[in-house]
A = this chain, B = another copy of it.
């Protein structure tokens, strides 16, 4: 048996999320169906670094699977892409050791969130950016973003649905970049709680609108109360950009 590590991009628009469900088209289900076909009907489970919600995109999601098929890494990518629909793209396949696990071996993740600040919406970007036509103080947003850096209890930025007990996470970097009328928020951390990036973004948008002051961020973190933070930003602007591992070959 060989363990394969796969980097995949997908447009989340037409998926009911990453993870298989009793009904609805999912990224995991679509990929597993193709792998099962390649394995002559034998079911193959794939294990991702984490799930993404309906409408959330991935530029560099990672999953692994085990196989007894002996196919060179490059040929795996070509074979899978030939059978997958065109809203999923296998970007890279490599053989890894059995100790590699896409979720447990991950040392960090980077998410991007795209905000379109034009007055009118853009029909071509409607599924790929959050349209926000209101005024924003970007300098205040940058200042607030910097206050998330470091290790904190992120209870205030976690969905009430979250069942994880340990809500302490480390944010390594949180940048707010402007390019034309597109604002991209780039956050890299040790890991993220359910809805955490979208709540961080929603909170920064309240800062940008002047509803919250940057210096209030610390108190919101300390309050450990979801009600103190901003709204959950919509799924359509969110991209899982990269999953980091300590060593490529583990």
- In the docked arrangement, what's the CA distance between A21 and B104, Å? 53
Cβ of A124 within 8 Å of any chain B Cβ, yes or no, is yes
Query: What is the oligomeric copy number?
Result: 2
**Contact between B86 and A124, CB atoms less than 8 A apart:** no
A116 CB to closest chain B CB, in angstroms?
12
| Chain B residues with CB below 8 A from A86, complex form | 121, 123, 126
**Contact between B87 and A126, CB atoms less than 8 A apart:** yes
**Contact between B87 and A10, CB atoms less than 8 A apart:** no
Residue of B nearest to A121 (CB): B89
Interface string of A67-86 (1 = CB under 8 A from B): 00000000000000000001
**Residue ranges of A at the interface with B (Cβ–Cβ < 8 Å):** 9-11, 57, 86-89, 91, 120-124, 126, 128
Query: Can you pick out 5 interface pairs between chain A and chain B where the beta carbons lie within 8 Å of each other?
Result: A11-B126, A86-B123, A87-B126, A88-B123, A91-B120
What 5 pairs between A and B have smallest CB-CB spacing? A11-B123, A86-B126, A89-B123, A9-B123, A87-B123
